[in-house]
Chains A and B, each alone.
Chain A
Amino acid sequence: MSEKQFTVIDEAGIHARPASVLVSTANKFESDIFLVYKGKDVNLKSILGIMSLGIGSGEEFSVRAEGADAEKALEELEKTLQNEGLAN
């Protein structure tokens, strides 16, 4: 299991377009991947799940991956978050 903490830097929070990219990235991996926000676990392969959290700018969340390619997945997701200017 791997887990890493992030802070949202996008002014609009996690909105549809970056959420789409994030979910598409997560879908490439076998591992179960979760976004943890305010003590809630949400499936990162679910666009509706991610959007329903309505995470705003400046808020903290972490990403947790469980499975064979967990570490690779986390690495890739971190890159996506940064490339999209979404979180760091």
Chain B
Amino acid sequence: MTLLQGIAASSGIAIAKAYRLVEPDLSFTKTTIEDIDAEKAKFDAAIAQSIQELKEIQKVAKTELGADEAAIFDAHVLVLNDPELINPIKEKISSDQVNAEYALKETTDMFIAMFEGMDNEYMQERAADIRDVTKRVLSHLLGVKVVNPSEISEEVIIIAEDLTPSDTAQLNRKYVKAFATDIGGRTSHSAIMARSLEIPAIVGTQEATEEIQDNDMLIVDGLTGKLHINPTAELIAEYEKELEKYEAQKAEWAKLVDEKSITADGEQVELAANIGTPEDLEGVMNNGGEAVGLYRTEFLYMGRNQLPTEDEQFDAYKKVLEGMDGKPVVVRTLDIGGDKELPYLELPTEMNPFLGFRAIRLCLEETDIFRTQLRALLRASTYGNLKIMFPMIATLDEFRKAKAMLEEEKEKLIAEGEKVSDEIEVGIMVEIPSTAVQADQFAKEVDFFSIGTNDLIQYTMAADRMNERVSYLYQPYNPAILRLVKMVIDASHREGKWTGMCGEMAGDEIAIPLLLGLGLDEFSMSATSILQARAQIRGLKKSDMKELAEKALQMGTAEEVIQAVKEKVNL
């Protein structure tokens, strides 16, 4: 048996046989042809077969995925009917006496280059559609059997390098239990699709297609990103139990979607979700999220070769605000630099990226980038309950500068006749120890705090979280961390403000009792953790947790704290 580690893209567990959805060999050579009419006829036939196939895929897509997802295939059919594409190919066959494969590829490559060269991201993505269509026609010309997932008639786990929209559209939910891909991240198309289909998925395994053969037995653990190939009978039995437990647990949690996040002694907190794109909202709704506690805007800037325009950003922010229908949405301004690179900004490499030129430090320097984002946010503010949060604030001066720019842009927009909400709360991330220690001073000027535990822990413990040799120092339950968290929460409450948390810790079952006891107001986590957290919180008494937290603050080590929590809440 082999184990591959990938990125957990959609939670759940699946145990089934592998089905390789791998690109067929579409290579060909350029040849000179004698019978031009026969070659043209061959081409016409391939087009007709492709259109027929697309129409069938579209029918499946409509029922399985909905009209919106299926609409893309309308465009594909039109491309295959496009005289500006078809005629030049036929002309090329006759004038150059070349084979249809070559004429097709030459012509579509020209269109692909043209769309990729356009300075509009939307148009650049259309190049992928033309590629998709070209592959389909080419496979018919070459007589290569394209793997056809609609033929699947038993439960399988799909293995692919990556999944295109037309691949996913053909997947039959009844039989496809999960998928695993070589490339991609949590926001790639296949990951988003898996979450909307609610099947487990692992992306970015690097070598799934290399290591896995058709009919290999697989276990996909979408909670941890582990992909087991030909596991032992014991492991299968273990996971079968795990799966049963997971399903039963999920059914239990699902009953809490519309319930309040309220403790056994009647204290209410807010359970929010961390999101990266407007597409993540569906998961927030399905899991009963009461707010968006962290909207990471980096994804708008990543995976492209230029900055997003004000309008592009406005559209995304508006979509999220409208989607949440008046519920709070905390948007974090650009947190880039350091380990998260944007190649097109051409920032110099740094010795200590985590201690370097990143986030608000970069934004206060590159003010054009920052002001564009602020304007887009302000313009979107009238579409919902917007809260703006600055990341990596270390000094009051940084906060004041950032806030002043926000005020300036607001005045400019109003002067331009734009509507801007007057209710926007402006807060900061607390992830640098200096800010936590001085929280009492910050609390007088900010509207809220959100504690970013991943960074707060690494800066407090002076341990790079990417360095495995010092990973033992990543200690969320260390009393030193808990004391900092307490300082921040207390400081905010003294000024009548609120504190949230948007790091991994906020959704952790050991941390939740402690945070509840420390008085945290908002817990923001991945959407799929919300129902579990709600179930836990509803079983706890805040008064008991307060006692527990007081004791934890006086303990010597993280181990003692973990022990105390486990004893108190039966974990």
Q: Which of A12, A43, A51, A52 contacts B83 (CB 8 A)?
A: A43
Q: Are B75 and A16 in contact (CB under 8 A)?
A: yes
Query: Residue B468 at the A interface, CB < 8 A?
Result: no
Q: Are B78 and A49 in contact (CB under 8 A)?
A: no
Task: Tally A residues with Cβ within 8 Å of B.
Answer: 19
| A interface residue numbers (CB < 8 A to B) | 11-12, 15-17, 19-20, 23-24, 27, 43, 45-49, 51-52, 54
B126: which A residues are within 8 A, CB to CB? 16, 51
Taking CB as reference atom, which chain B residue is nearest A45? B83
Q: Which of B74, B120, B122 contacts A20 (CB 8 A)?
A: B74
Quote the shortest CB–CB distance from B156 to chain A (angstroms): 32
Q: Which of B71, B75, B129 has the most CB of A within 10 A?
A: B75
- What class of interface size applies to chain B in its complex with A? 20 to 34
Q: Are A20 and B85 in contact (CB under 8 A)?
A: no
Taking CB as reference atom, which chain A residue is nearest B314? A11
Q: Are A47 and B78 in contact (CB under 8 A)?
A: yes
Contact of A20 with B83 at beta-carbon distance under 8 Å, contacts A51-B123, A52-B114, A54-B120 already known? no
Q: Are B84 and A20 in contact (CB under 8 A)?
A: no
Instruction: Please report which residues of chain B, range 93-131, place their CB below 8 angstroms from some CB of chain A when the two chains form the complex.
Output: 111, 114-115, 118, 120, 122-123, 126, 129-130
Q: Are A54 and B84 in contact (CB under 8 A)?
A: no
Q: Which of B79, B114, B120 contacts A47 (CB 8 A)?
A: B79
Supplied contacts A46-B82, A46-B83, 11 more A-B pairs, CB within 8 Å: A16-B72, A17-B74, A20-B71, A20-B74, A23-B82, A45-B83, A47-B78, A47-B79, A47-B82, A48-B111, A51-B115
Q: Are A27 and B84 in contact (CB under 8 A)?
A: no
Query: Residue B563 at the A interface, CB < 8 A?
Result: no
List, sorted by A's number, 11 A–B pairs whose CB atoms are closer than 8 Å: A20-B71, A20-B75, A24-B78, A46-B82, A46-B84, A47-B79, A47-B82, A51-B115, A51-B126, A52-B118, A54-B120
B114: which A residues are within 8 A, CB to CB? 52
Query: Residue B81 at the A interface, CB < 8 A?
Result: yes
Q: Are A54 and B78 in contact (CB under 8 A)?
A: no
Q: Are B122 and A49 in contact (CB under 8 A)?
A: no
A47: which B residues are within 8 A, CB to CB? 75, 78-79, 82
Total inter-chain residue pairs, C-beta < 8 Å: 49
A16: which B residues are within 8 A, CB to CB? 72, 75, 126, 129
Q: Are A23 and B71 in contact (CB under 8 A)?
A: no
Taking CB as reference atom, which chain B residue is nearest A21? B74
Q: Are A17 and B71 in contact (CB under 8 A)?
A: yes
Taking CB as reference atom, which chain A residue is nearest B118? A54
B74: which A residues are within 8 A, CB to CB? 17, 20
A46: which B residues are within 8 A, CB to CB? 82-85
Instruction: Please report which residues of chain B, range 121-148, place their CB below 8 angstroms from some CB of chain A when the two chains form the complex.
Output: 122-123, 126, 129-130
A17: which B residues are within 8 A, CB to CB? 71, 74-75
Quote the shortest CB–CB distance from B148 to chain A (angstroms): 25
Q: Which of A12, A20, A48, A54 has the most CB of B within 10 A?
A: A48
A43: which B residues are within 8 A, CB to CB? 83-84
Q: What is the CA–CA distance of A52 and B118 in the complex, to the nearest angstrom?
A: 8
Instruction: Please report which residues of chain B, range 13-62, place their CB below 8 angstroms from some CB of chain A when the two chains form the complex.
Output: none
Quote the shortest CB–CB distance from B225 to chain A (angstroms): 34
Q: What is the CA–CA distance of A23 and B120 in the complex, to the nearest angstrom?
A: 21
Q: What is the CA–CA distance of A20 and B82 in the complex, to the nearest angstrom?
A: 11
Contact of A23 with B118 at beta-carbon distance under 8 Å, contacts A45-B83, A46-B83, A46-B84 already known? no
Quote the shortest CB–CB distance from A18 to chain B (angstroms): 11
Quote the shortest CB–CB distance from A19 to chain B (angstroms): 8
Q: Which of A43, A47, A54 has the most CB of B within 10 A?
A: A47
Quote the shortest CB–CB distance from A37 to chain B (angstroms): 14
Q: Are A20 and B118 in contact (CB under 8 A)?
A: no
Quote the shortest CB–CB distance from B125 to chain A (angstroms): 9
Q: What is the CA–CA distance of A52 and B79 in the complex, to the nearest angstrom?
A: 12
Quote the shortest CB–CB distance from A50 to chain B (angstroms): 9
B122: which A residues are within 8 A, CB to CB? 12, 15
Quote the shortest CB–CB distance from A39 to chain B (angstroms): 18
A23: which B residues are within 8 A, CB to CB? 78, 82
Q: What is the CA–CA distance of A60 and B79 in the complex, to the nearest angstrom?
A: 25
B83: which A residues are within 8 A, CB to CB? 43, 45-46
Taking CB as reference atom, which chain B residue is nearest A23? B78
Taking CB as reference atom, which chain A residue is nearest B130? A48
Taking CB as reference atom, which chain B residue is nearest A22? B78
Q: Are B118 and A49 in contact (CB under 8 A)?
A: no
Q: What is the CA–CA distance of A12 and B120 in the complex, to the nearest angstrom?
A: 11
Contact of A52 with B78 at beta-carbon distance under 8 Å, contacts A15-B122, A43-B83 already known? no
Q: Are A49 and B84 in contact (CB under 8 A)?
A: yes
Q: What is the CA–CA distance of A45 and B79 in the complex, to the nearest angstrom?
A: 10
A12: which B residues are within 8 A, CB to CB? 122
B123: which A residues are within 8 A, CB to CB? 51, 54
Taking CB as reference atom, which chain A residue is nearest B78? A47
Taking CB as reference atom, which chain B residue is nearest A46? B84
Taking CB as reference atom, which chain B residue is nearest A57? B311
Contact of A27 with B81 at beta-carbon distance under 8 Å, contacts A16-B126, A52-B114, A54-B118 already known? yes
Q: What is the CA–CA distance of A31 and B311 in the complex, to the nearest angstrom?
A: 38
Q: Are B115 and A20 in contact (CB under 8 A)?
A: no
